[in-house]
Amino acid sequence: MKFTSYNIDPEIKKSISESGFTRPTDIQFKAIPPILNGEDVLAIAQTGTGKTAAFAIPVLHRLYSSSRQVGASGIRCLVMVPTRELALQITDVIIQLAQHTSIRTSSVFGGVEQDPQIAALLSGEDILVATPGRMFDLVSQGFLKLANLEILILDEADHMLDLGFIGDIRQLIRFLPKKRQTLFFSATISPEIKKLAYSLVINPIRIQVSPRDPVAKNVDHSVAFISMDDKRFFLERLIRENPGSKILVFVRTRVRAERVCKALERAEIKSYTIHGDKDQQERLKVMKLFKNNEIQVLIATDVSARGIDVASVEYVVNYDLPDKVENYVHRIGRTGRGNHRGKAVSFCSPEERELLESISEYIGKDIQELKIDRKEYAETLDFSVVVESDWKKLLLEDEKTPNRKKRKR
């Protein structure tokens, strides 16, 4: 079946075609018809399956084809998401699909000035993509009205629970009309997720897309067994041997992200970090540079993983293996997107072997090992010996220099 066969407004079909979509993915094929019919939907699907378009396409048609005046009487559709990056990503997709309609979409999230967001709301938006904190701030200030909401969408609901937003979600319901359409998307269906979902939806259509291999088919993933202290040398070598490739590096914590960035800097490799401690404007700037190929290496934490949607990432490097096995799939899903092939390489230290076994069990197969003999291992450690020793020498000299804080830089 093709998108041209759906009973969707021609203006939206035009945008779908211009976006390069011809046939729906499994989640889109199963979700679009009931959403078009106005039914509540509970959908369980992994990342990279096309979930955003699965709800954006039918929701845009419903709003655009309804008799209600576009842009009138406040927000008509609210999309709740856990992170700022995901809010921006979903907003971009909806705007792209709505470009030939009069539907207006914007996003609100914390970490930036609220005045431009308030101005957008007051000008009349139809769809709002929001993170919980900023959304409640605007509701309490009276700038965001939800009394006439027609559609509520919760995306990445499992991640919202992980981040402790379940209380916010339950509080949100008090501001919404009882008569509404609710769409609930999650990668997992734990008892907590099920309880939350069924408290929000009414007689939902349940959809589950769980492929045997949760890792994208067009991603080649492998593991290299490397000592924790030696990982930076292997990362440096991978970057130097792939000068034209866009590389996304995942670490476990914000502190680790900055340490890896500093290690690459000492090796004279420019990289950038993105994590929760960064100012929002800086995060937006870094993501824009990465998307525009002005940055080759980006170092990120798991909180950022689900909001990084860059089509041409050639390598994902698991510098640290994730504590939660499902985050492995979310990380790997940042490469091999669309028609692109991607490569995912994990650096596994002896203390991470147990995590690797859990990941292999979760995805249902072993991860191919990259064999590294002793000679190659030693050569890699020697790869930055000159840079490393020069750095230590300079640091020693710097410490011996009197009044070093008063020197001009």
Summarised one tens digit per residue, pLDDT across range 183-235 is: 999 877 778 888 888 888 889 999 988 655 556 667 888 999 999 999 999 99
Residue type, 404: R
HSE-CB at 108 with a 13 A cutoff on CA atoms is 27
Alpha-carbon distance of 221 to 217, in angstroms, equals 10
pLDDT given at position 395: 46
- Segment 361-379 shows an average pLDDT of 89
Boundary-marking domain end, from 158, 176, 209: 209
Asked, for residue 348, whether it belongs to a domain, the answer is: yes
Name, in order, each residue with C-beta under 8 angstroms of 289's C-beta and a sequence gap of 6 or more: 272, 295
pLDDT given at position 145: 87
Q: Is the pLDDT of residue 384 over 70?
A: no
The least confident of 10-24, 222-236, 384-398 is 384-398
Helix 51-65 / helix 10-18 crossing angle, nearest 10 deg: 150
pLDDT given at position 211: 54
pLDDT given at position 385: 45
Which two structure tokens, joined as six digits, stand for 124?
């009349």
Q: Does 90 share its domain with 31? A: yes
Alpha-carbon distance of 324 to 358, in angstroms, equals 9
Q: CA nearest 313: which of 302, 328, 297?
A: 297
| pLDDT band of 60, cuts 50, 70, 90 | very high
pLDDT given at position 276: 76
Long-range contacts of 207-212 (CB under 8 A, 24+ apart): 207/27, 207/30, 207/31, 207/41, 207/42, 207/43, 207/44, 207/45, 208/43, 208/44, 208/45, 209/26, 209/27, 209/30, 209/43, 209/44, 209/45, 209/46, 209/49, 210/44, 210/45, 210/46, 211/46, 212/364
Considering its fold, how many domains does the chain have in total? 2
**What percentage of the chain has pLDDT greater than the value 70?**
86
- Sign of the torsion formed by the C-alpha atoms of 250, 251, 254 and 259: negative
Q: Does 24 share its domain with 172? A: yes
Please give the backbone phi and psi of residue 327, each rounded to the nearest 5 degrees, phi first.
-70, -20
Higher pLDDT, 11 or 284: 11
Residue 71's domain spans which residues?
Answer: 3-209
Higher pLDDT, 233 or 171: 233
pLDDT given at position 258: 94
Q: Does 230 share its domain with 170? A: no
Name, in order, each residue with C-beta under 8 angstroms of 82's C-beta and a sequence gap of 6 or more: 131, 156, 159, 160, 162, 163, 165, 306
For residue 181, what is the DSSP state?
A: E
pLDDT given at position 352: 96
Q: Does 180 share its domain with 300? A: no
pLDDT given at position 408: 40
Alpha-carbon distance of 40 to 153, in angstroms, equals 10
Q: Under a CB-based contact definition with an 8 Å cutoff, are residues 346 and 198 in contact?
A: no
CATH number at residue 301: 3.40.50.300
pLDDT given at position 195: 85
Which two structure tokens, joined as six digits, stand for 171?
């509080």
Using one digit for the tens of pLDDT, what is the confidence trace for 83-142? 888 898 899 999 999 999 999 999 999 888 899 999 989 888 999 999 988 998 998 898
- Stated as kind and residue range, the H or E segment containing 199 is helix 191-200
The least confident of 44-48, 134-138, 245-249 is 44-48
pTM: 0.69
Q: Does 231 share its domain with 327? A: yes
Which two structure tokens, joined as six digits, stand for 156?
């990445």
Higher pLDDT, 397 or 350: 350
- Segment 329-352 shows an average pLDDT of 85
- Segment 290-302 shows an average pLDDT of 89
Q: CA nearest 115: which of 138, 92, 99, 146?
A: 138
Alpha-carbon distance of 93 to 91, in angstroms, equals 5
Mean pLDDT of all residues belonging to the chain: 85
Q: Does 152 share its domain with 252? A: no
Which two structure tokens, joined as six digits, stand for 365?
């197969």
Alpha-carbon distance of 389 to 404, in angstroms, equals 21
Boundary-marking domain end, from 209, 232, 262: 209
Q: Does 240 share its domain with 202? A: no
- Segment 155-184 shows an average pLDDT of 85
Report which listed range, 11-25, 210-224, 271-285, is most confident.
11-25
Boundary-marking domain end, from 209, 237, 272: 209
| pLDDT band of 312, cuts 50, 70, 90 | confident
Q: Does 309 share its domain with 186? A: no
Q: Is the pLDDT of residue 390 over 60?
A: no
DSSP secondary structure letters along 313-349: --EEEESS--SSHHHHHHHHTTSS-TT--EEEEEEE-
Q: Does 187 share its domain with 68? A: yes
Q: Does 18 share its domain with 166? A: yes
Q: Does 70 share its domain with 129? A: yes
Q: Does 109 share its domain with 224? A: no
